[in-house]
Structure 1
Amino acid sequence: MTGVALYSAVDDVITHYDVDVDAAILTKKEAITVPAKVQYAWPHPSRTHLYVSTSRGGPRVKSDHNHVSALAIAPDGSLSRYGEPKPLDNRAVHMCVDSSGRFILNGHNFPKSSITVHRIEPDGAIGDEIKQPVDLDYGTYPHQVMVFPAGSPALIVDRGNKAQDERPEQPGALRTFEFIDGQLSAGAVVAPDGGYGFGPRHIDFHPSKPWIYASDERTNRLYMFRFNGGVIESRPAYTLDTLAFPRQISPRQLGGPIHVHPSGQWVYVANRADHTVQFDGQKVFGGGENNIAVYRIDPESGQPVLVQHADTHSFHVRTFACDPSGRLLVTASIKSLATRNGATTQVTPAALSVFRILPNGRLQFVRKYDVETTGPQLQYWMGMVGLR
């Protein structure tokens, strides 16, 4: 690896930053426009291409303009279009590339739940869609699609939905599907207590042990599940709160993205909040936690042990990433938000917040880079890629 590139997406524009890991400095470079608002992106294992899913829609908003595109990654980290975008029937909430680099999987949750699969050609171009069986159950509200490190099964993280008005709670689950040569087939469902009170958003795999760590969006919890092959145990081995003050939950307090450190020694979970109240005719932050919860992982049992809550100095971190060496962590907040400061207000812009990862796994805030978002624009995705 000769360097690290950070990519930040605001609506349909992806901006490249050079990352000086030693100095913890981001240097803004060029930008590229993609077909619509970026929903998620994932690098090829070879780090030669970045695959990007885009949509004109948003959560629970139907869109007829959805695509997955390939971008070539140059040795200096700059991006360029590579082939023609492939259309998707619906907005993708999440996407990934399997460990072999042969397939792109997109997860969808509106107007119906599904997974679409595209082949990746040997040159990195996106090939044809592989049609899937019509009778597979993808759950109520998939929020992430992943593939086990061995290449099968595929996994849908089904968040479900909390009870609302007259609608009862829709339970969540972890749903696996056999995944052979790009073809999905029925697998198993893990739904502790029938999935009630279980609202997983994202998972991450331990790099060397058969352990899965999952963040719960609806209950602000961290779970650790063990698995054998592609079979996940029916109940989590460990369940912990993610909030510093779990008895003081504000409206719109949500569990967020989760990443295991490249070394497998720590796991990081984002707590995010953006609830607003009225003050002097303006919407201002109404309270809640915006931080990264840091857990040490016991190397024998996999048990996570809370060691820190690190303030992100921003609001609603939707994505964050560790650099491949595991020395830096950068968080990306989605939008600006006003806060009350005595009798006045001040606006905190969307931002990229840079932290050093200390030898004990704790985070040390270094600096923050404001990211311009105008009107309804959102910094919806960010990631880092080690360059060739």
Structure 2
Amino acid sequence: MGGSGAVRPMRAYIGSFTSAGGDGITTAAVDPGSGALTPLHSAGAVPDPSFLAVAPGGDVLYAVSETESGAVAAFGLTRDAERRPVPRDTAPVRGRGPTHLAVADGHLLVANYGSGSVTTLPLRADGTFDRGGHVLRHEGEGPHPERQGAPHAHAVLPDPTGRWVLSVDLGTDSVRICVLDPAAGALALHHEVHLAPGSGPRHLAFHPRGDRAYVINELTPTLTTCRWDGDAGELVPVTETAVLTETAVLPEAEGEATHPSEVVIAPDGRFAWTANRGHDSITVLALDPAGDRPHRVGQVPCGGRWPRHLTLDPAGGRLYAANERSGDVTWFDVDPVTGMPLRAGSVPAPAASCVVFC
């Protein structure tokens, strides 16, 4: 985090759907001992800020505006203890329904679900948007009759080396590996990797070692493990693991389809966790030393309904689930030996969709 004075207290930023009664972006204090969240204030300056990202340095917060027209917003974080987001800039993404974003090499990367594209926006030194940018449009479709009639980019992020950009497309059952030209601000396709037909890949997380990637699939409750070569920019699917058992149905979710939403990898690479909407659970998977064969070891309730996002705190000892339909954020202490989450508390957060820390 920026600044040269005393250490700033940690803050959590909760994104939510304003169209469903959410408060926009809520700032919460984080208790350093218990991990408990205490909401401080909310800002509804942007409609439907469903996904957030903090810039390197911790002084700028970015949000998508998951609307039909599609936009992103930059917020400066005040340097006092409040760490309040102050609106600084907005920009169109020239795409529909943006759902995910990340910062890479002086650019903001945005995945546009509705239009099946990825936008790159150059950033100024103060974190605002330099006009221009580039849109890479995905092509293709998948076998699911309702969800895969066209491309649907759902996530975009740089790889651990910083040399590549990966975009995950639910509509085409594929992950695209791209090269970012920082001078032109454009993405060029290097390779497209196809996953299981009808799986609907949604998000991707890297092993801390940097040589494995894990793709959570929305249309089938599975996790695809891939080997990643950061020198060559090659992604090779290795195994596919079911994140649920047929008998592990929670009573409150009976009859509703399961849609996994997120995968999180432990900082030491020993565990993976997935959030499962409909089933309203968190699955725990143990990773072997190579990271190739996740083994399902258990599930726990997510603490609410429809966990849209799951994340670890910066120390890696607690999980936070943003439960969209029950309108809360629930946190869990993670057993360091078994990886099992133990519910520790929750806070109301209407239409919660994302939690990030700074």
- Does the pair score TM above 0.5? yes
Matched, 1:11 2:13: no
Alpha-carbon deviation of 1:54? 1.0
2:130 corresponds to: 127
Alpha-carbon deviation of 1:228? 1.1
Q: Distance in 1 between matches of 2:52 and 2:136?
A: 25
What are the within-5 Å matches in structure 2 for residues 282-293 of structure 1? 289-293=279-283
1:69 corresponds to: 73
Q: Distance in 1 between matches of 2:9 and 2:240?
A: 37
1:258 corresponds to: 263
What are the within-5 Å matches in structure 2 for residues 1-388 of structure 1? 2-12=8-18, 13-55=24-66, 57=67, 63-64=68-69, 66-75=70-79, 76=81, 78-89=83-94, 90-98=96-104, 100=105, 102-110=106-114, 112-132=115-135, 137=139, 140-160=151-171, 171-181=172-182, 182-192=185-195, 195-229=196-230, 230-234=232-236, 236-245=237-246, 250-273=255-278, 289-336=279-326, 350-360=327-337, 361-371=339-349, 373=350, 378-385=351-358
Asked whether the 8 Å contact 1:21–1:327 carries over to 2, the reply is: no
Question: Would the alpha carbon gap of residues 53 and 130 (structure 1) be closer, same or farther in structure 2, given more than 3 Å must change?
Answer: same
Question: Would the alpha carbon gap of residues 188 and 129 (structure 1) be closer, same or farther in structure 2, given more than 3 Å must change?
Answer: same
RMSD of aligned residue pairs (Cα, Å): 2.3
Could you tell me the TM-score, scaled by structure 2's length?
0.84
Structure 2: give runs of 5+ residues left out of the alignment: 1-6, 19-23, 142-150
Question: Would the alpha carbon gap of residues 366 and 191 (structure 1) be closer, same or farther in structure 2, given more than 3 Å must change?
Answer: same
Q: What amino acid is aligned across from residue 103 of structure 1 in structure 2? A: H
Deviation by residue 1:260-285 (Cα, 9 ceiling, x = unmatched): 12332221111110xxxxxxxxxxxx
Deviation by residue 1:33-83 (Cα, 9 ceiling, x = unmatched): 22211131111121111111114x3xxxxx23x321111223435223253
Q: Distance in 1 between matches of 2:187 and 2:139?
A: 11
Q: What amino acid is aligned across from residue 125 of structure 2 in structure 1? A: P
Q: Distance in 2 between matches of 1:365 and 1:133?
A: 41
Could you tell me the TM-score, scaled by structure 1's length?
0.78
- Of structures 1 and 2, the larger Rg is shown by 1
Deviation by residue 1:291-341 (Cα, 9 ceiling, x = unmatched): 1111222233443222221211211100121111011111111123xxxxx
How many residues matched?
A: 328
Alpha-carbon deviation of 1:87? 2.1
Alpha-carbon deviation of 1:227? 1.3
Question: Would the alpha carbon gap of residues 37 and 197 (structure 1) be closer, same or farther in structure 2, given more than 3 Å must change?
Answer: closer
- Determine helix, strand or coil for the equivalent of 2:125: coil
Q: Distance in 1 between matches of 2:248 and 2:270?
A: 28
Asked whether the 8 Å contact 1:50–1:71 carries over to 2, the reply is: yes
Question: Would the alpha carbon gap of residues 138 and 41 (structure 1) be closer, same or farther in structure 2, given more than 3 Å must change?
Answer: farther
Q: What amino acid is aligned across from residue 347 of structure 2 in structure 1? A: Y
Deviation by residue 1:208-266 (Cα, 9 ceiling, x = unmatched): 231101111111001110011253344x2222111143697944211111111233222
Q: Distance in 2 between matches of 1:301 and 1:133?
A: 31
Q: Distance in 2 between matches of 1:133 and 1:253?
A: 30
- Determine helix, strand or coil for the equivalent of 1:321: strand
Q: Distance in 2 between matches of 1:20 and 1:183?
A: 41
- Determine helix, strand or coil for the equivalent of 2:98: coil
- Determine helix, strand or coil for the equivalent of 2:163: coil
> More deviation in 13-22 or 66-75?
66-75
Asked whether the 8 Å contact 1:116–1:129 carries over to 2, the reply is: no
Q: Distance in 1 between matches of 2:289 and 2:102?
A: 27
Q: Distance in 2 between matches of 1:92 and 1:132?
A: 12
Q: Distance in 2 between matches of 1:92 and 1:45?
A: 21
1:165 corresponds to: none
Structure 1: give runs of 5+ residues left out of the alignment: 58-62, 161-170, 274-288, 337-349
Question: Would the alpha carbon gap of residues 121 and 53 (structure 1) be closer, same or farther in structure 2, given more than 3 Å must change?
Answer: same
2:145 corresponds to: none
The structure carrying a bigger strand percent of its residues is 1
Q: What amino acid is aligned across from residue 118 of structure 2 in structure 1? A: I
